[in-house]
Structure 1
């Protein structure tokens, strides 16, 4: 032992034998708890040893050899980890003490301490490596509380596959993890579009009795299955609920009805609704009725939709804004604006406040019927209700204005949209304005709209480029058209056959057959840089877009 370290030992502990006993003490087992009620000298010794080991591991690793002949216990090593100032330090101390030169056998407590610190520092991958070492190499199994913590940490870090693996091993570890952890993980996986993975996982878990699912567990999986049209599997899962002491609740039935209606099975969804009314065990609510109404509206069966609505009111279930919006949208799409107005008036009469979806559906209905002035009147009424139009409201009205060649009004609304910091402009809003301007031969104005679109951070899509290419060709400004085609390919917007064929036709009419081969190469993923274009064409491409 180095003289300075010996002097410190003597200074802190005049009687070193308790230190030696503590260094050698490992309790009933290496994994057991620290000794209960030790003498105060033992407590002081443990604290000092922990500090000494931590300091040596971090600052003077070569001094660790001095502790080797004293054979420090796993409890002293675990206590040393508590002095780590950060996750990296904790991992360094853990490695230094439990591997060469000291090679103290790590305890389960030491592993868990480091894993917790790593997880809290966002180093879940390192934590999982230690956890695997802890369980496979040393055979230390976690309890339910620790496993739940690790699963929750990995789930929060979006390491969903790792969380699934841990939960699948819960029974192997002898842990009973609450259903909440499984439910949360399955919800996140479904949110990432991994519905089939969730269904397979869930069926394996319940088959192997890994955990006890609750009603929420089934509802999560059934909803995911219905979302992707996997309704037959959803029905099978409902049948299995009784095996686990669960009964379908109103939420379960709402999910099923909505799923059936989404796959054009509105008749079966309506039958589920009738059965609920008939059995009286699990009464349908506004969501159940609205799902069936929506299914009939999407199928254009407005009489059936209204019949369900009347049945709902007669049952004492009050419709909400979603119910009315569905009816207004349904009647608008079939062009029955008289019924649209009736439903809207009933909505206001029952003091159900309209929202942006209500007004968007009203505007859409009037636009579909060619009653653009009435649509603009509704647009103005939105302000009276202190409701701001959203991106789809703008899209509906701008598109309709462009269809009637009212480009100036459309541009005015587009400028209003550009002033809204809460709306991210989309290409499908700009495209109708660019299109109507190009068809009127106002390609320079269309170019200005395109420039403004890019300034707002809105990326043009293939339809934007196609409109501009054909527009410039119609004005015999082939150089600009070629430039837009080139930029389209460079932007990763693959031109379709219609675009390519129209452009080639324009090039041939303009007497530019040499450009056709180049356009076809670009369209098929060939030469895509300006430097690869033959010099005559390059000169034309260097012409800037007219402003």
Structure 2
């Protein structure tokens, strides 16, 4: 509640005092009828006085009482001038609402626009939309440019639900809006994994006479559907394009081919590629071919991948760095390092400089083949080329050192990583070292690595905790293992059945039934499925390193 204050305790100038005397006198202000091409000087003075009274009043109700004696002088033009004197948008909104409710002012369209723009610029989009809908309900014409401004402002602020609701009602205001606004909205929806919302919005408004989608609109939705793996729906949208005067372009075809390759439907991807070649309306480019090559590489079909590569170069299309990286990564994953190195040499000969992804793929390939020393030679070559390893390069090398029980060398890389503030650490980099130390019985050293990890603000994941819990149990440190389990739960990291079953098994062997009951109670509260038998913990790198380092 505002503190009470004596009425009209306002500091004003000599000219304002004179104007106040005129305004509060029984006679009508002699300047009220002044006219001119610009703003009426009297209106400006009245607006200045009204806004000053409003600002210095402890509450809107008191402000209304103080302004009441001159309410007959308030007009839409005075109200607009007073609104423009409010630097704070919420204060402007409060005055806007007060002038409507207390003084019956019918605001002009300019006043509505001023309040809406002020609110949007300060991030109060919910309030701005309420004022906008009031503006429409009062019969003010809505300009298409203003509708688009409001929609784009909501989109850029991340208020996608407000933008969807606003554009969905565009027909009510008789407004068209440009495809740019639509595409901006669709892109943000897809980018935030709200693909179904983007699809639903476009489907609902495709046949609206107030919306004209373009090829880009369809491409955005097709990309989102391909990302979800719903290839058939993506093709359905592609088929609808022509009925709206849009033609599939190279982006459309590349997106569909990439979606098919990611879904491992390589036969359909090849068919579409051949159809594009025969059609001739949009010739395939390096992105098209690289998508197909990548699809074959991910399936380990290197002969087919090389065939598509040869077809691409035969068509006069120059491979990109990504194309070479995809092939190198593919050969490395199937253990064919001779072919991987051959592609690398061809890459250099063509004048295409390698990047960190190139070296990470080669290092990964050598590590998979057990040639760790050759991998580290490439590590040094990276430095000579002034290329710095990224998080995945460190993960590949560290995991390989740990698999070969070369833990000290793995720890050296972790120390090197500690000095790299430009690399964001991940749990999957540290887990192999922690796992290796625990398996060797060096649990105290494993704890030190976890502390180093947390110092870098890298949170342990469920693999980290499970490795540590089993490591402590193997050393007979049951109290520490239980404490780690409790820390895991309290940190918001939900243990899975492997974690719980492993700990329960060790507690059972240690004859600690009471602790077992506590662990099981915690597990039941977390809705962890315990019907699976206890099994060995998976590789500490596990799924994390299943990511292709080439794409």
TM-score category by the smaller chain?
0.7 to 0.9
Q: Map 1:149-298 to 2 at 5 A.
A: 149-298=149-298
Matched, 1:117 2:136: no
CA contact (8 A) 1:9 1:16 kept: no
**Equivalent position of 1:104 in the other structure:** 105
Give me the whole-angstrom Cα distance separating, in 1, the residues matched to 2:465 and 2:312: 49
Q: What are the Cα deviations for residues 163-187 of structure 1, in whole angstroms up to 9, with x where unaligned?
A: 1111112222111211111111111
Q: TM-score, normalised by structure 1?
A: 0.87
- Is residue 51 of structure 2 the alignment partner of residue 50 of structure 1? no
RMSD: 2.3
Partner residue, 1:83: 85
CA distance in 1, matches of 2:452, 2:445: 11
**SS in structure 2 at match of 1:308:** helix
Name the SS for the 2:515 alignment partner. Answer: helix
Rounded to whole Å, the distance in 2 between the matches of 1:42 and 1:377 is 78
Counterparts of 1:453 and 1:257, CA distance in 2? 41
Contact 2:32 2:42 in 1 (8 A): no
* Equivalences for residues 4-83 of structure 1 within 5 A: 7-8=18-19, 19-21=31-33, 39=36, 43-59=40-56, 61=63, 62-70=65-73, 72-83=74-85
Measure, in 2, the Cα distance between the counterparts of 1:318 and 1:175: 47
Greater RCO (Cα-Cα under 8 Å, separation 6 or more): 2
User: 1:18–1:186: structure 2 CA closer, same or farther, 3 Å change rule?
Assistant: farther
How many angstroms does 1:514 deviate by?
Answer: 4.1
Distance change >3 Å, CA 134–CA 342, structure 1 → 2: same
For residues 366-397 of structure 1, give each alpha carbon's deviation from its aligned partner in whole angstroms, at most 9, with x where no partner exists. Answer: 11111111111111111011111110110011
2:106, 2:289 → 1: CA distance?
A: 64
How much does 1:247 deviate? 1.0
Instruction: Give the distance between the partners of 1:163 and 1:43, measured in 2 at CA.
Output: 38
- Is the 1:47–1:79 Cα contact (8 Å) retained in structure 2? yes
Distance 1:447 1:405 in 2: 18
Would the aligned equivalents of 1:500 and 1:523 in 2 still touch at CA under 8 Å?
A: yes
Partners of 2:241 and 2:286 lie apart in 1 by: 24
3-state SS in 2 of match to 1:466: helix
Residue 502, structure 1, aligned to residue 517, structure 2: no
| Residues in 2 aligned to 1:111 and 1:477: alpha-carbon distance in whole angstroms | 70
Offset, 1:290: 0.4
- Structure 2: gaps spanning 5 or more residues: 1-7, 9-14, 58-62, 527-551
Q: How far apart, in 2, do the equivalents of 1:324 and 1:18 lie?
A: 84
The answer on whether the counterparts of 1:277 and 1:284 sit within 8 Å (CA) in structure 2 is: yes
Query: Any idea what SS the aligned residue of 2:353 has?
Result: coil
Closer, same or farther: CA 203–210 of 1 in aligned 2, 3 Å: farther
Instruction: Specify the alignment match of 1:534 in structure 2.
Output: none
Whole-Å Cα distance in 1 between the matches of residues 53 and 514 of structure 2?
78
Residue 372 of structure 2: aligned partner: 372
CA–CA distance in structure 2, aligned partners of residues 409 and 311 of structure 1: 44
Match of 1:539 in 2: none
Change (3 A) 1:39 1:472: closer
Change (3 A) 1:307 1:98: same
Which whole-Å CA distance do the structure 2 matches of 1:143 and 1:360 have between them? 54
TM-score (norm: length of structure 2): 0.87
Runs of 4 or more consecutive aligned structure 1 residues displaced over 4 Å after TM superposition: 4-7, 9-12, 15-18
Kindly provide the CA deviation profile for residues 148-205 of structure 1, in whole angstroms up to 9, marking residues without a partner as x. 1111111121110111111112222111211111111111111111101110100111
Query: How many residues are matched?
Result: 504
Moved more, 182-191 or 496-505: 496-505
Shift of 1:233: 1.3
1:27 matched residue in structure 2? none
Q: Secondary structure at the match of 1:494?
A: coil
2: CA distance, partners of 1:221 / 1:54:
49
Offset at 1:339? 0.7
Q: How far apart, CA to CA, are the structure 1 residues paired with 2:495 and 2:71?
A: 72
Partners of 1:58 and 1:93 within 8 A in 2: no
Structure-1 residue corresponding to 2:549: none
What is the match of residue 512 of structure 1?
A: 512
Tell me, yes or no, if the aligned pair for 1:489 and 1:523 is still in contact at 8 Å.
Answer: no
Per the TM alignment, residue 484 of structure 1 is displaced from its structure 2 partner at its CA by 1.9
Name the counterpart of 1:133. Answer: 134
Change (3 A) 1:18 1:7: closer
The Cα of 1:403 is off from its aligned counterpart by 0.3
The CA deviation string for residues 195-254 of structure 1, in whole angstroms up to 9 with x for no partner, is 011101001111223310111111111111111112111111111111221111111111
